[in-house]
């Protein structure tokens, strides 16, 4: 079982040629509303890969938008019984440019009081707990409770200077929030410093430029990314990577091979618009690994 605690929202995705200058104008080519949020994205992938998933996090909101979000979750086969129908429905406006990059504006997030009650969370020793920190205090308290119940932790973007990271946790970050895109020396040092500070495993992804991993007591390692067939939308690529790595760990893969599965899943994700549409199957991910043997072999060290 994987307990996913995090954000659940509607992604309103608008495709544009490029972002305008301040005060400028650009035309929206098309618009669609899809299931989004880091928690929902990760849960969707794991569910599609036939893993037992419990999704918890922010309330879905009341009224029409809340019911629409609830229906989008049910369409993906996700269980909604722990999700409240109160407050404002979170909506993320995502502007996707022609190069596949995305810029996001959120509304209705961080309503700290509206989340799954802690006493309803099924903490199970030996199982995985994963969270993002977008419900800041609740996510951190849920992670603390999961650790107390002897769950294995996979934390995404918990990057405060004063973070309390339990020993042995896996921490994933992206260079859009820490480190620096394309700066291998700086990124390697950042990951190494985080591991040394918290005695955790640190993963720092850098999009198409690869990823870095540091385990306690080991030298830092760099791995290349898998190529993408086409880049349409990078929204949710980090969540696809997280879900893929978690899937590999659940299947008792080595960390390197779990990272390989996650990297291949992320490469396939960017070929589709939206974070939860056209989720690749396990077979498709494995086939993409086989189709790129030189990249795949780099993870065999």
pTM > 0.85: yes
The verdict on residue 118 lying in a domain is no
Which whole-number Å values give the CA distances from 248 to 45, 46, 178, 216, 242, in the listed order? 13, 11, 25, 20, 10
Helix, strand or coil, per DSSP, at residue 11: strand
The verdict on residue 134 lying in a domain is yes
pLDDT at 195: 98
**Whether pLDDT at 112 is above 80:** no
Which DSSP state fits 208?
Answer: G
The verdict on residue 119 lying in a domain is no
pLDDT at 140: 97
CA 125/CA 72 separation, integer angstroms: 30
The verdict on residue 99 lying in a domain is yes
Looking at the chain, the whole-number percentage of residues with pLDDT higher than 90 is 97
The verdict on residue 216 lying in a domain is yes
CA 151/CA 143 separation, integer angstroms: 9
The verdict on residue 7 lying in a domain is yes
pLDDT at 86: 93
Helix, strand or coil, per DSSP, at residue 287: helix
**Whether pLDDT at 110 is above 80:** no
Summarised one tens digit per residue, pLDDT across range 85-108 is 999 999 999 999 999 999 999 998
CA 67/CA 53 separation, integer angstroms: 21
> Span 210-236, mean pLDDT?
96
- Residue 291 structural domain: 2-113+124-300
CATH code of the domain covering residue 12: 3.40.1190.20
* Number of separate domains in the chain: 1
Helix, strand or coil, per DSSP, at residue 107: strand
pLDDT at 109: 83
The verdict on residue 192 lying in a domain is yes
């Amino acid at each position: 079982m994987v307990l996913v605690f995090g954000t659940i929202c509607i992604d309103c995705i608008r495709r544009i040629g490029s972002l305008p200058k301040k005060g400028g104008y650009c035309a929206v080519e098309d618009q669609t509303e899809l299931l989004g949020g880091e928690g929902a994205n990760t849960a969707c992938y794991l569910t599609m890969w036939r893993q037992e998933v419990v999704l918890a996090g922010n309330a879905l909101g009341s009224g029409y938008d809340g019911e629409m979000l609830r229906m989008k979750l049910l369409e993906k086969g996700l269980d909604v019984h722990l999700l409240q129908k109160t407050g404002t429905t979170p909506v993320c406006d995502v502007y996707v440019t022609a190069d596949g990059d995305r810029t996001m504006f959120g509304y209705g997030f961080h309503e700290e009081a509206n989340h799954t009650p802690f006493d309803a969370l099924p903490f199970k020793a030996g199982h995985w707990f994963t969270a993002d920190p977008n419900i800041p205090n609740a996510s951190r308290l849920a992670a603390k409770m999961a650790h107390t119940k002897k769950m294995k932790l996979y934390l995404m973007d918990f990057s405060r200077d004063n973070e309390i990271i339990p020993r042995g946790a896996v921490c994933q970050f992206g260079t859009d929030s820490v480190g620096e895109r394309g700066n291998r020396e700086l990124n390697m040092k950042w990951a190494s410093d985080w591991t040394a500070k918290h005695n955790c495993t640190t993963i720092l992804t850098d999009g198409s430029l690869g990823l870095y991993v540091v385990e306690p007591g080991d030298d830092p390692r760099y791995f290349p990314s898998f190529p993408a067939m086409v880049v349409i939308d990078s929204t949710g690529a980090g969540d696809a990577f997280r879900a893929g790595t978690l899937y590999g760990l659940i299947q008792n893969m080595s960390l390197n091979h779990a990272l390989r599965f996650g990297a291949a899943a992320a490469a396939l994700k960017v070929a589709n618009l939206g974070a939860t549409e056209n989720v690749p199957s396990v077979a498709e991910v494995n086939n993409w690994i086989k189709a790129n043997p030189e990249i795949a072999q780099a993870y065999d060290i």
